[in-house]
Amino acid sequence: MTGVGKLCCYSSVPLVQHLQLPATPPQFLFKSKATTSCTTSTRLISASLTTQSTPDSSLQTSNIPPAHVLNTNGNSNLMVHSKNLRTTKADQGEPPRWFSPLDSGSSTRLPNAPLLLYLPGIGGSGLGLSLYHRRLGEMFDVWCLHIPATDRTPFQELVKLIESTVKSEYYQSPNKPIYLVGQSFGACLALAVAARNPKIDLILVLANSATSFNGSQLRPFIPMLEALSKELDGGLDYIFSLTTGVASTVASEISETLVAMSADLPGRADVLSVETLIWKLRLLDAASLYTNSRLHAIKAQTLILASGRDQLLPSRQEGERLHRLLPNSEIRIFDDSGHMLFMDKNHDLVTILKATSFYRRTRNVDYVLDYLPPTPFEFSKARESYRVVEEAFSPVMLSTLENGNVVRGLSGIPSEGPVLFVGYHMMLGLELAPLIARIYSERGILLRGVAHPLMFKKLKDGKLPDLSSYDTQRIMGAVPVSPTNLFKLFKTKSHILLYPGGMREALHRKGEEYKLFWPEQSEFVRMAARFGAKVVPFGVVGEDDIGELVFDYEDQMKIPYLRNFIQELTEEAIQISPFRTNTEGEVANQDVHLPVMRPKLPGRFYYLFGKPIETQGRQQELENRDKAHELYLEVKSEVENCLSYLKEKRENDPYRNILSRILYQLRHGYDSEIPTFEP
């Protein structure tokens, strides 16, 4: 991923050439099959803007045949284009317009890809997603709004322009969502459009929304700049030079504000005059007032992104406020980022959409079919977050070959799916991260974990952990447990990870280490047989070597305050999903609580994957409930055998203790593989 100083726009024609359009009444167009020769067919966006010499430009909707196309393709440098993206005499009076930063006919784009409309900050260049154009182009049909620096279209007219495009595209594809990605001022545009169109399937992605402008430190600058404009007739460079030499805090803040306000515009001083800057600040003021008065009408699915170090707006507080007000919203806070969040290479917009499960191509998210595997960078970041666990517990992976021999490594794991891994859940699922990471890094196999729905949904005022706690699991392919999702995973020949014991097993009581809590019913066997899946039973031990459970469920239920808290959490989890509410037996006791463990000097994790059990050719046989239950009990017995094998064999591991492993690495190198017992 390139830095801000090496942005790419992938265009073979300087963007300024496209911006200098004929002085005829323009229409908003988007080329459907872009080429450098501009000879392919065009696609009308049903909106036209008649520009006037007065600031009060008016918008009219129509279906006039296309007249202009704004499109960029190829491989030239964006920074060069940015210098040329400025208002010229020929460009003065031109209206806002859409452009495509990528070839709309890209062969790498996913089928049925939704439309993404990028709404820029107050700078208006439309280039704010340049870091992600290529990756976004694989997932979306991307259009960007360009608002010329000298344009004087009022906020409500800009809203109508975007609304016209949204309605036109929604009419053509009513079963696909439309994404409105807005930065700062663009977030106000997105919210306003959503408020006016509650019945259209919109997904809003808002970065540092300027709805906080009225309460920010920027608003008082407007009369100051208006006073300056009466005395000065220069561009921003002149004002920068004035404020640089002034020691006052206000002057310094004005300078910083001007820099931030025009950060997405190249050639800042040449494009923005004092008059233009005042207009843009007034535009922000109008946008904030208009949007805040209509927040109650917004029903759209919304992802709020807020920076913790935004020096321009109180974005963190505003993000939290919007999250409280918008009923269908989620929030992610980036403590180390500034105002231009989309220009921060440390926070990839594509990764954010994947981690939050905000990418979908139909009316409802499909956790199986809409899922995109992690990139190498995403995997390395995900693994880094659990690196301490791997290093501290030095996992030993064993697998079983077709002939029954147990070998070190993962060579016994089937490569071709569908494969169902069925195993034991250690306390708090501590075994998950090393398990998934090692199989993916060594075998290139992505385990799709079937997880509790509370990892994907949370009540607005609920007390369960924030959904951001599970972003890494979603990137690595976790799906909510349901028969439908399990069916789709089998159908797509996936490698599936299933824990029949669920939360009851992962939150067991004292003395219940390595005890299985499985349902009485053979829930998964017949579905696995229907697709001829291989079933791989596995066990993992090591929990008792890293900690001792000292305050469990039984202890907590004796304390009235904690008992009430556990009941509230459990009721909330049931509201999210009545999963297994009809299940009988001990496994149905899935009360949500947090056990307390006393840490020990770390031992080691040991995994054993048993011999794969074939179901191919047994579909008719396993349709019989009794036969399916026999196979179910066989799988359970194999998991218990794996646990017994590991508990016995680890006694012969000279490197079971972390101190012995550290000494080995000091002698043989940090990256050396630490030995273990002979299988």
Q: pLDDT tens, 253-289? A: 444 545 554 455 444 444 457 777 788 888 999 999 9
Residue (of 99, 96, 91) closest to 153 by Cα position? 96
Provide the mean pLDDT of the chain: 81
Bridge partner residues of 48 (DSSP): 27, 60
Token pair of 330 as six digits: 């989620």
What angle (nearest 5°) sits at the alpha carbon of residue 183, between those of residues 311 and 362? Answer: 145
Does 455 lie in the same domain as 308?
no
In a domain, 247, yes or no: no
Q: How many CA atoms lie within 13 A of 643 on its CB side?
A: 19
Does 654 lie in the same domain as 586?
yes
Whole-number Cα distances in Å, 231 to 42, 224, 272, 278? 48, 11, 17, 14
Does 338 lie in the same domain as 408?
no
- 225 within 8 A of 278, measured Cβ to Cβ: yes
Lowest mean pLDDT among 296-300, 312-316, 539-543, 636-640: 312-316
Is it the case that residue 75 has pLDDT exceeding 60?
A: no
pLDDT the model gives residue 386: 84
Does 445 lie in the same domain as 332?
no
pLDDT band at 17 (very low <50, low <70, confident <90, very high): very low
Does 596 lie in the same domain as 552?
yes
pLDDT the model gives residue 272: 56
- Over residues 4-18, the mean pLDDT reads 30
Q: What is the residue range of 579's domain?
A: 376-668
pLDDT the model gives residue 38: 34
Parallel/antiparallel/unpaired status of strands 396-400 and 329-334: unpaired
User: Which of the listed residues 302, 322, 356 is the one where a domain comes to its end?
Assistant: 356
Sheet holding 419-423, edge to edge: 406-408, 396-400, 606-609, 534-541, 419-423, 495-498, 447-451, 479-480
pLDDT the model gives residue 117: 97
Write the DSSP string, 611-666: PPBP-TT-HHHHTSHHHHHHHHHHHHHHHHHHHHHHHHHGGG-TT-SHHHHHHHHH
pLDDT the model gives residue 1: 42
pLDDT digits (tens, 9 = 90+) for 419-463: 999 999 999 999 999 999 999 999 999 999 999 998 999 888 888
In a domain, 271, yes or no: no
Residue (of 501, 526, 521, 531) closest to 628 by Cα position? 526
- 308 within 8 A of 334, measured Cβ to Cβ: yes
In a domain, 80, yes or no: no
- In the block, which residue shows the tokens 């859940």? 425
Lowest mean pLDDT among 27-31, 173-177, 649-653: 27-31
Greater model confidence, 301 or 591: 301
pLDDT band at 636 (very low <50, low <70, confident <90, very high): very high
H or E element, residue 440: helix 432-443
- Over residues 24-31, the mean pLDDT reads 35
In a domain, 150, yes or no: yes
Q: CA 128, CA 287: separation in Å to the nearest integer?
A: 19
Bridge partner residues of 144 (DSSP): 99, 118
Token pair of 246 as six digits: 């002034």
Highest mean pLDDT among 66-75, 233-242, 305-314, 404-413: 404-413
Token pair of 202 as six digits: 């919109």
pLDDT band at 60 (very low <50, low <70, confident <90, very high): very low
Does 417 lie in the same domain as 380?
yes
- Over residues 184-206, the mean pLDDT reads 97
Token pair of 137 as six digits: 């182009």
Q: CA 200, CA 165: separation in Å to the nearest integer?
A: 12
Does 560 lie in the same domain as 492?
yes
Lowest mean pLDDT among 97-111, 587-601, 607-621: 97-111
Is it the case that residue 55 has pLDDT exceeding 50?
A: no
H or E element, residue 305: strand 301-307
Residues near 146 by beta carbon (within 8 Å), at least 6 away in sequence = 19, 70, 96, 97, 98, 99, 120, 124, 125, 126
pLDDT the model gives residue 57: 30
Bridge partner residues of 537 (DSSP): 422
pLDDT band at 496 (very low <50, low <70, confident <90, very high): very high
Q: CA 423, CA 403: separation in Å to the nearest integer?
A: 21
Beta-carbon count within 10 A of 564 CB: 10
pLDDT the model gives residue 329: 96
- Could you tell me the CATH number of the domain that includes residue 131? 3.40.50.1820
Please list the alpha-helical segments (H only) found in 467-580.
471-475, 483-491, 502-506, 525-530, 553-557, 560-576
- Over residues 368-396, the mean pLDDT reads 91
Does 465 lie in the same domain as 322?
no
pLDDT the model gives residue 92: 55
| DSSP classification of residue 675 | P
Does 557 lie in the same domain as 471?
yes
pLDDT the model gives residue 245: 44
Is it the case that residue 401 has pLDDT exceeding 80?
A: yes
Lowest mean pLDDT among 90-94, 141-145, 237-241, 459-463: 237-241
Cis preceding linkage at 418, omega within 30: yes
pLDDT band at 576 (very low <50, low <70, confident <90, very high): confident
pLDDT band at 574 (very low <50, low <70, confident <90, very high): confident
Greater model confidence, 21 or 223: 223
pLDDT the model gives residue 603: 92
Does 298 lie in the same domain as 438?
no
Does 197 lie in the same domain as 111?
yes
- Could you tell me the CATH number of the domain that includes residue 576? 3.40.1130
Domain count of the chain?
Answer: 2
- Over residues 387-415, the mean pLDDT reads 94
Parallel/antiparallel/unpaired status of strands 479-480 and 396-400: unpaired
Give a three-class secondary structure readout of 139-164: HCEEEEEECCCCCCCCHHHHHHHHHH
pLDDT the model gives residue 611: 96
Does 348 lie in the same domain as 402?
no
In a domain, 411, yes or no: yes
pLDDT the model gives residue 385: 82
pLDDT digits (tens, 9 = 90+) for 233-253: 544 555 555 544 443 444 444
Is it the case that residue 570 has pLDDT exceeding 80?
A: yes
In a domain, 112, yes or no: yes
In a domain, 125, yes or no: yes
In a domain, 272, yes or no: no
pLDDT digits (tens, 9 = 90+) for 516-563: 999 887 778 999 999 999 999 999 999 999 999 999 999 999 999 999
